[in-house]
Structure formats: C-alpha cells, structure tokens
C-alpha cells in the first residue's frame, strides 16, 4: 500500500486546501514565510480541480479537513484547542470538528448494534435517540436500558472507518519516507517512527473493546481523585464496534457561556484540568491523551467528567522521572540540572558539551519566564526546546510524543477557560509532589526493594543467563547462503533504483 500512488493523495490534499479557500487561511495561521506560501500555492494551483469541494456551509478550514477524511480531522481537533497558535477565529471554526460532524443514519447505527450485540435495538434499549454527537471515528446515541431505565451513551463506529484511516496513514508513511530520503538531516527526527507510533494509537481507537478496557483501568487509577469522575462501562452491551457506558450529564467544557450560567468557576476548572492531567501522567503513567473540549464536561456538582477513551498514553516509571525532573528544572530555572537529565537519560549524545547545552537551555527558559503570565506557554517551551535539541543532535523520542502532544492540547483547554492562567504556577505543586514521592528517601527504599525482589526471583538463574549471553556473543552468525544474499541484493538494488528515480523526478519537477 505504501507506494508511489500515494503522491496522488498528497497532491489532492494541497488541491483541496486550495479549492476550498483554506490554503491562505492555514498559511496565515501558521505564519508561513512568503517563499513557503508561494511554493505551496504554485504546486497546488494546477491540481485544484482534483481537490474535494467539501460542505460549502462550513468555514474553509474545517470544510477542507472534513472533506479530506478522519486523519485530517484529528489534526483539526488539535488546532481547535490552540487559539494562541492559530488565532481565536480559526480555533473557534475548528471546534465543529470535535463532535459536530455530519452523522450517519440512525438505521445504519441500529443495524451495526444488532450485528455486534446479537439482538435488535428495541430489545435492549428504550428511547434510542438520533446522534447527539458525531466525531471523526464514531457517533454517539442516547438511550435507556430496557431492564433498569438507566440513561446510557452508545458509541458506534462509522461504517468503513478502518479503510479510510488506512488510506491516510499510508499516504503519511509515503510522505515520511520521501522526507527522510530527500532530507537526510530530518532522519534525526525519525518521521517514520512517529507515523508508526500514531498508527498504533489510531488502530487501538478503532477497537471499542480496547477503549472499554482503557476506561476501566483509568477509572481504577483515578478512583480517589476529587472533582473528577468517569461514566461506568456496560461490558455486557459492548463489543468491537459498539460501546455502551453511563450517560455523562453536564455542561460541555468548551461552552464558556453555559459554564458561567451554571455558576461554575472557570478559573478553578482550568487549574484542575491541567493538574489532573499532570497527576495522571506522573503518578500513574497512564493518562487520557485526547483531552480536547469535545471529550470533557462539567457535572452539576462541579466535577470534571471525561469520556472517549480511544487514545490513552502510557509512560514507564523511569521516563516519568526524567520528564518530571525536566519540568521541575525549568520551574526552578536550574538549567544545569535540566541539561544533566538530558545527558543521563541518553537523550543528547554524550560527546556534546553539557555546559554549552545548559547555556542553550537558559536561552530557551529565560525569555518565557520573563513573559506576562498569560503568555507563559509550555507549547512555546516545547517549540524552543525542539530548536535547541536539534542543534545538539537529540533524536525524537517516540515514547514522549503523545505526552507532549497532550500537554499542548490540555494547555489549550486550560487557556480557553482562563486566558490569564499561569501554567507554571499551576503545574508546580503537582510536579513538586511527584518529585518528593519518586526521588526522595522513601522512593529510593522502594526501588531497592523492587530490585531485591527481582534478584531473588532470578538470582538462581543468573549464572546460566550470563553464560548463555557470553556464548551467543562469542559465536559468529551462520553465513548466509550465497544465492539468497545475491537475490536480496538484487531486490534491494531494484527497489532502490525505482524509488530513487521517482524521488529524482519529483525533485526535478519541484525545482
């Protein structure tokens, strides 16, 4: 699938942006340099007729992304939470991509439910409603359980959604391969690995049994969190393409007027959203990774309700400590320690100068801390940090991509509730508490205890394991049969020649 035919898909992307009038809007929002604007318009304009028209009743940018498909809609959902990056007007336009997309018919949803659950909808539910929310991957219906009368939300995957994502992901892979081939310096960023990481995330979102399992684990982790709740999963009425859970009754977190009318404190809600995310990521290593306004509500009692558990993030204990130390170092403005953590974790090659790296980090942090509170941004920090680490040869850490992306989204949500929020002051108590818990004397004792337990379990086998490892390292690998080696070299040369010729043609065309 990941072949040259994907060029057509990428050309169609530019053509759709041009045809819908979204190209100049996106370029303005991204503050693209004049030469980039001119090059993109020049490449897209001749193929404008290939672009999709989209829904003319929608604004240009969401119209283009909706027409291009679910992967592009996901991109628009992220932009909708960042008015500081794309402007308040474009961010507001993008909000329709969160849960207000065109639905598919009720009868199609009912047929899917009957096929998945093995019984007609009327036998399982009462008051089955039209779609109350329609997103890029699925839509939601409200109903009541026939047996108990409890209000529930029924999530049903869009028909054909798996193939639609497959087409877009294949095009992204092709683009990543072309970028790596044409720009060797970009390989440090591992664009193909980045696409693979998100492919795994998206494929998990297309199996609602995995989402139900994620919700169950998340509920167990956060059971004691005050001001926070999750709708319960109805396992007996859930399957691969259908998931049933308790109804979340509340005000959407993206509707500031409704929040104010209900008497909720938006300043407190903004602080709580950010602190809950950091607590889940650092304390549990398991966090909701799609925390845009479309997945958040405020209950009548003021609790934050979260749902849609298709994208969850996981980071191991060591990475959590590294991430916390980096954040804490920036909060304390201890740039030397931030630099040392990067070196200790192997994020920066050891042949680089730690003092020089610390000075570069100071140039990243100091301008941010000199800003007004409303302009202090972790998103800006990540952007500046990216520029510095590129100069010092740091490779992209795929295990941190989802964490960093979610941090940017959550910051956007918090700012939409309280534009004057000081991100660092709100984050500080959570990070400090984690540092005390994970790096203090008690944490050291716990780590030693776990290490001792592992050694006790594997101790009797250690001599045998070491001997086997030494024997493997000392034994040369068996020689490859000459015929097979020649065949592989021939295939490699043939495929390389085809791809190289294609890349050369593209370069000459662009040039």
pLDDT 10s digits, 232-250: 999 999 999 999 999 999 9
Structure tokens belonging to residue 442: 């008690």
For residue 196, tell me if it sits in a domain. Answer: no
Q: By C-alpha distance, which of 200, 210, 221 is closest to 401?
A: 200
114 has pLDDT over 90: yes
The sign of the torsion formed by the CA atoms of 234, 239, 240, 244 equals negative
Helices (H), 134-286: 161-182, 191-205, 208-221, 256-261, 266-279
* Helices of type H across 392-475: 398-417, 423-439, 441-458, 462-474
* In a shared domain, residues 405 and 487: no
Same domain, residue pair 255 and 394 = yes
Residues 389, 494: one domain?
A: no
With a pLDDT cut of 90, the percent of the chain lying above it is 30
Do 316 and 377 lie in a common domain? Answer: yes
Q: Do 499 and 456 belong to one domain?
A: no
**pLDDT tens per residue across span 24-56:** 877 776 566 676 567 667 767 777 877 888 888
Residue 130 is assigned to a structural domain of this protein: no
- DSSP string covering 54-121: --TTS-HHHHHHHHH-HHHHHHHHHHTT-HHHH-HHHHHHHTHHHHBSPPPPHHHHHHHHHHHHSS-H
Is 11 inside any structural domain? yes
Residues 410 and 503 in one domain: no
The 8-class DSSP code of residue 347 comes to S
Mean predicted confidence (pLDDT) in 442-453: 65
Residue 346: which region, alpha, beta or left (left: phi > 0; alpha: psi -120 to 50)?
A: left
Q: List the domain range (segments joined by +) for residue 492.
A: 483-511
Q: Which residue, of 97, 121, 156, is where some domain finishes?
A: 97
* pLDDT tier, 488 (very low <50, low <70, confident <90, very high otherwise): very low
Number of domains in the chain: 3
38 lies in some domain: yes
The pLDDT score that the predictor gives to residue 215 is 94
Contact 8/63 with Cβ under 8 angstroms? no
Instruction: Please tell me whether residue 233 adopts helix, strand or coil conformation.
Output: strand
**372 and 311 part of one domain:** yes
- What's the pLDDT score for residue 110? 96
For residue 198, is it within any domain? Answer: no
- Band of residue 500 on the pLDDT scale cut at 50, 70, 90: very low
Q: Which residues pair with 138 in a beta bridge?
A: 157
- Last residue of some domain: 45, 79, 97? 97
Do 389 and 489 reside in the same domain of the chain? Answer: no
pLDDT tens column, 146-174? 999 999 999 999 998 888 888 888 887 88
In a domain, 398, yes or no: yes
Active-site residue flag, 290: yes
Shared domain for 396 and 511, answered yes or no, is no
Q: Which of 168, 170, 290, 308 is the catalytic position?
A: 290
Are 279 and 386 in the same domain?
yes
Whole-model pTM over 0.75? no
Residue 426 lies in a domain: yes
Band of the pLDDT at 458, cuts 50, 70, 90? low
Whether the predicted pLDDT of 267 surpasses 50: yes
- Are both 50 and 20 inside the same structural domain? yes
Report yes or no on 106 lying in a domain.
no
Residue that finishes a domain, picked among 49, 68, 97? 97
Query: Are 390 and 491 members of one domain?
Result: no
CA atoms within 13 A on the CB side of 358: 14
């Amino acid at each position: 699938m990941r072949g040259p035919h994907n060029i057509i898909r990428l050309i169609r992307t530019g053509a759709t942006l041009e045809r819908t009038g979204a190209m100049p809007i996106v370029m303005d929002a991204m503050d693209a340099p004049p030469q980039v604007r001119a090059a993109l318009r020049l490449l897209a304009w001749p193929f404008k007729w290939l672009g999709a028209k989209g829904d003319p009743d929608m604004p240009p940018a969401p119209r283009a992304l909706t027409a291009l498909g679910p992967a592009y809609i996901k991109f628009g959902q992220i932009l909708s939470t960042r008015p500081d990056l794309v402007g308040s007007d474009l961010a507001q336009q993008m909000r329709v991509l969160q849960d207000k997309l065109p639905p598919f018919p009720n009868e199609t949803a009912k047929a899917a439910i009957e096929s998945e659950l093995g019984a007609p909808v009327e036998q399982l539910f009462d008051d089955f409603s039209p779609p109350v929310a329609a997103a890029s991957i699925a839509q939601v219906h409200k109903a009541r359980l026939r047996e108990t009368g409890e209000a529930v939300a029924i999530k049903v995957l869009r028909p054909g959604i798996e193939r639609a994502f497959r087409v877009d992901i294949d095009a992204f892979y092709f683009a990543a391969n072309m970028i790596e081939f044409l720009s060797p310096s970009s390989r440090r960023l591992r664009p193909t690995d980045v696409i693979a990481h998100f492919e795994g995330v998206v494929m998990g979102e297309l199996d609602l049994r995995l989402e139900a399992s994620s919700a169950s684990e998340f509920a167990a982790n956060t059971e004691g969190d005050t001001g926070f709740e999750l709708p319960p999963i109805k396992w007996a009425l859930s399957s691969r393409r259908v998931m049933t859970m308790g109804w979340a009754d509340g005000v959407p977190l993206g509707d500031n007027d409704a929040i104010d009318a209900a008497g909720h404190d938006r300043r407190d809600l903004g602080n709580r959203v950010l602190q809950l995310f950091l607590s889940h990521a650092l304390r549990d290593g398991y966090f909701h990774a799609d925390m845009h306004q479309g997945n958040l509500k405020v209950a009548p009692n003021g609790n934050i309700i979260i749902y849609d558990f298709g994208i969850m993030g996981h980071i191991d204990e060591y990475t959590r400590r590294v991430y916390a130390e980096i954040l804490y170092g920036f909060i304390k403005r201890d740039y030397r320690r931030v630099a040392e953590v990067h070196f200790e974790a192997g994020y920066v090659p050891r042949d680089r100068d730690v003092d020089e790296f610390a000075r570069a980090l100071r140039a990243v942090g100091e301008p941010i801390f000199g800003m007004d509170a409303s302009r202090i941004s972790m998103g800006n920090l990540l952007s500046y940090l990216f520029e510095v680490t590129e100069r010092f040869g740091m490779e992209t850490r795929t295990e941190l991509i989802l964490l960093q992306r979610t941090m940017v989204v959550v910051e956007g949500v918090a700012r939409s509730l309280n534009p004057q929020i000081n991100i660092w002051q709100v984050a500080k108590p959570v990070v400090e508490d984690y540092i005390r818990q994970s790096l203090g004397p008690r944490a050291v004792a716990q780590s030693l205890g776990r290490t001792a337990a592992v050694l006790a379990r594997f101790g009797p086998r250690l001599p045998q394991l070491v001997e086997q490892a030494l024997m493997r390292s000392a034994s040369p690998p068996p020689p490859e049969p000459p015929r097979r080696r020649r065949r592989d070299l021939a295939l490699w040369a043939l495929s390389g020649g085809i791809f190289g010729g294609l890349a050369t043609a593209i370069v000459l065309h662009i040039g």
